[in-house]
């Protein structure tokens, strides 16, 4: 009797538990999303598809960079020295050739005068040397000619027995001595040039004149002048300060023409062309300006491994745009007219070869090997393996094979 009651109680408890479990499953099922309910009812993969038609393939290129001036020059002293005068301040407008800064020239002024005096003295020495040579030359020539004639007469007298051999030998010795003295002076002059002693003095004077020019050039280098028209954008020098050679002291920016310099990858730079129009937004100005590509670097930067592109801002009215501002824009470039291309997610690689799945009208999958052409950020061109009007799978390719039946996931609106 008791056993019978226990069995009935146990059976009743199991029945109640089963009802509760069924209610829980039903409650959970009723609260699932439509997609999950559909997946529960089926075993077929749920894929998103896209119908492919011929169209123009475009490449979207984003451009970003900074505004730069056409001319920006940094000036640095060639020599170390004390600043004696600074004629500009930040924001001043200058013209090419204007004096900006002067270093102390006192020591150089003294050196210039001393060297100038030495050069003038060397010129005087050249004149003295030339006059001395001429006097010695003509005297030696006269003495030589006189001894030559005298020796000729002595030879005649000896030939007729009027004089002795000793007298002849003495006359010959004197003649040869005068001849040697003359030839020494005469040999200093060759090919119409002045005597060597004169040239030596002349070259010394010329060297000193060059030294004067070098000192004057050095003095001129102590005066920094504006190489271009523009505005003073940097000044780091005060009167009395010792500045070092090569240190940046003044910068000039010519902001009349403003450009935007951008860096791009190889694939983007390869299809950009000068003359292309690009709207450029400068966030700091809150404006968008028309711009035109005027330069595409012909070579990659070895350090950054990028290419430089310069754009000309076309209507910077009033020169309101400053340098160093962030600028951005984009351009869509036609890659190929009337071609087939698919989203990148449609292509996967199998054994190293590109493959897609085509979904036919009966929702059956077909694996196809394709040939890839041009690429952009979102799409890949299909040169072979796909026909216009066919649909391709964009997801769940790992669950597909040829003949697999799929369900099409509708696009969410």
DSSP of 64-99:
EEEEEEEEEEEE--SS-EEEEEE---TT-EE-TT-E
Describe the strand order of the beta sheet including 371-375 as a list of residue ranges: 341-343, 379-384, 371-375
Write the DSSP symbol of residue 227.
Answer: S
Q: What is the pLDDT of residue 322?
A: 86
Per the DSSP assignment, residues forming a β-bridge with 240 are none
Fold of 46-54+340-408: 2.40.420
Q: What is the pLDDT of residue 24?
A: 61
pLDDT single digits (tens) 48-80: 999 999 999 998 899 999 999 888 899 999 999
Locus of tokens 């199998």: 350
Say how many residues make up the chain. Answer: 413
Write the DSSP symbol of residue 346.
Answer: G
In three-state secondary structure terms, 192 is coil
Reply yes or no on whether the pLDDT at 195 is more than 90.
no
Least reliable range by pLDDT among 40-44, 67-71, 144-148: 40-44
pLDDT band at residue 11 under the 50/70/90 scheme: low
Q: What is the pLDDT of residue 6?
A: 45
Q: What is the pLDDT of residue 411?
A: 63
What is the distance between the alpha carbons of residues 235 and 250, in angstroms, rounded to a whole number? 5
What is the distance between the alpha carbons of residues 191 and 37, in angstroms, rounded to a whole number? 114
- Report the Cα 117 to chain-centroid distance in Å: 48
pLDDT band at residue 266 under the 50/70/90 scheme: confident
Q: What is the pLDDT of residue 246?
A: 94
What is the distance between the alpha carbons of residues 83 and 100, in angstroms, rounded to a whole number? 11
Reply yes or no on whether the pLDDT at 19 is more than 80.
no
In our burial notation (b when 16+ CB lie closer than 10 A, e otherwise), range 248-275 reads ebbbbbbbeebbbebbbeeebbebbeee
Reply yes or no on whether the pLDDT at 38 is more than 90.
no
Per the DSSP assignment, residues forming a β-bridge with 50 are 392
Write the DSSP symbol of residue 295.
Answer: E
Q: Which of 371, 315, 368 is nearest to 339 (CA)?
A: 371
What is the distance between the alpha carbons of residues 413 and 395, in angstroms, rounded to a whole number? 18
115 and 137 Cβ atoms separated by less than 8 Å: no
The top-scoring range by mean pLDDT among 14-28, 303-317, 386-400 is 386-400
- The model carries a pTM of 0.58
In three-state secondary structure terms, 321 is coil
pLDDT single digits (tens) 237-250: 999 999 999 999 99
Reply yes or no on whether the pLDDT at 275 is more than 60.
yes
What is the distance between the alpha carbons of residues 237 and 218, in angstroms, rounded to a whole number? 20
pLDDT single digits (tens) 94-141: 999 999 999 999 999 999 999 999 999 989 988 888 888 888 888 888
pLDDT band at residue 39 under the 50/70/90 scheme: very low
Class of domain 253-335: mainly beta
The number of C-alpha atoms within 13 Å of 80 and in the hemisphere containing its C-beta is 2
Mean pLDDT in residue range 355-361: 95
Mean pLDDT in residue range 259-269: 89
Per the DSSP assignment, residues forming a β-bridge with 64 are 328
Higher pLDDT, 24 or 315: 315
What is the distance between the alpha carbons of residues 158 and 161, in angstroms, rounded to a whole number? 5
Q: What is the pLDDT of residue 338?
A: 96
Mean pLDDT in residue range 371-385: 93
- What mean pLDDT value characterizes the chain? 86
What is the distance between the alpha carbons of residues 143 and 307, in angstroms, rounded to a whole number? 84
Least reliable range by pLDDT among 91-95, 180-184, 191-195, 333-337: 191-195
The first and second tokens of residue 275, run together, are 């003359």
The first and second tokens of residue 226, run together, are 């504006």
Least reliable range by pLDDT among 106-120, 123-137, 184-198, 265-279: 184-198
Class of domain 108-219: mainly alpha
Q: What is the pLDDT of residue 158?
A: 86
Q: What is the pLDDT of residue 303?
A: 85
Q: Where along the chain do its domains lie?
A: 46-54+340-408, 108-219, 253-335
Alpha helix positions (H), 60-195: 106-159, 165-186
What is the distance between the alpha carbons of residues 114 and 10, in angstroms, rounded to a whole number? 128
pLDDT single digits (tens) 283-322: 998 999 999 999 999 988 888 889 999 999 887 655 688 8
What percent of the chain shows pLDDT beyond 70? Answer: 87
């Amino acid at each position: 009797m008791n056993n019978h009651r226990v069995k009935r109680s146990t059976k009743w408890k199991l029945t109640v538990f089963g009802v509760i479990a069924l209610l829980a499953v039903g409650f959970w099922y009723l609260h699932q999303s439509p997609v999950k309910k559909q997946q529960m009812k089926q075993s077929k993969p749920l894929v998103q598809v896209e119908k492919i038609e011929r169209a123009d393939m475009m490449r979207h290129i984003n451009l970003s960079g900074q505004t730069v001036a056409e001319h920006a020059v940094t000036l640095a002293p060639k020599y170390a020295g004390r600043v004696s005068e600074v004629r500009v301040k930040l924001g001043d407008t200058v013209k090419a050739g204007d004096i900006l800064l002067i270093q102390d020239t006192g020591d150089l002024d003294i050196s210039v005068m001393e060297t100038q005096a030495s050069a003038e003295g060397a010129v005087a020495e050249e004149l003295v040397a030339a006059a001395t040579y001429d006097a010695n030359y003509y005297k030696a020539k006269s003495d030589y000619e006189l001894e030559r004639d005298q020796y000729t007469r002595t030879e005649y007298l000896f030939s007729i027995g009027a004089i002795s051999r000793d007298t002849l030998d003495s006359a010959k010795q004197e003649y040869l001595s005068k001849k040697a003295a003359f030839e020494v002076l005469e040999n200093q002059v060759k090919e119409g040039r002045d005597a060597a002693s004169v040239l030596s003095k002349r070259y010394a004077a010329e060297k000193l004149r060059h030294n004067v020019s070098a000192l004057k050039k050095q003095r001129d280098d102590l005066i920094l002048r504006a190489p271009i028209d523009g505005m003073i954008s940097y000044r780091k020098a005060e009167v009395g300060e010792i500045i070092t050679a090569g240190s940046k002291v003044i910068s000039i920016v010519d902001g009349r023409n403003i450009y935007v310099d951008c860096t791009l990858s190889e694939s983007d730079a390869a299809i950009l062309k000068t003359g292309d129009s690009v709207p450029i937004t400068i966030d700091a100005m809150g404006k968008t300006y028309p711009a035109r590509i005027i330069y595409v670097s012909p070579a990659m930067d070895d350090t950054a491994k990028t290419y430089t592109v310069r754009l000309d801002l076309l209507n910077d009215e009033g020169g309101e745009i400053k340098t160093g501002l962030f600028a951005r824009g984009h351009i869509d470039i036609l890659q190929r007219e009337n071609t087939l291309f698919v989203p990148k997610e449609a292509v996967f690689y199998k054994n190293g070869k590109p493959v897609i799945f085509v979904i036919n009208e009966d929702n059956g999958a077909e694996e196809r090997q394709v040939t890839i052409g041009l690429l952009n950020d979102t799409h890949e061109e299909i040169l072979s393996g796909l026909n216009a009007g066919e649909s391709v799978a964009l997801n769940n390719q790992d669950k597909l094979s040829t003949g697999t039946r799929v369900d099409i996931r509708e696009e969410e609106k």
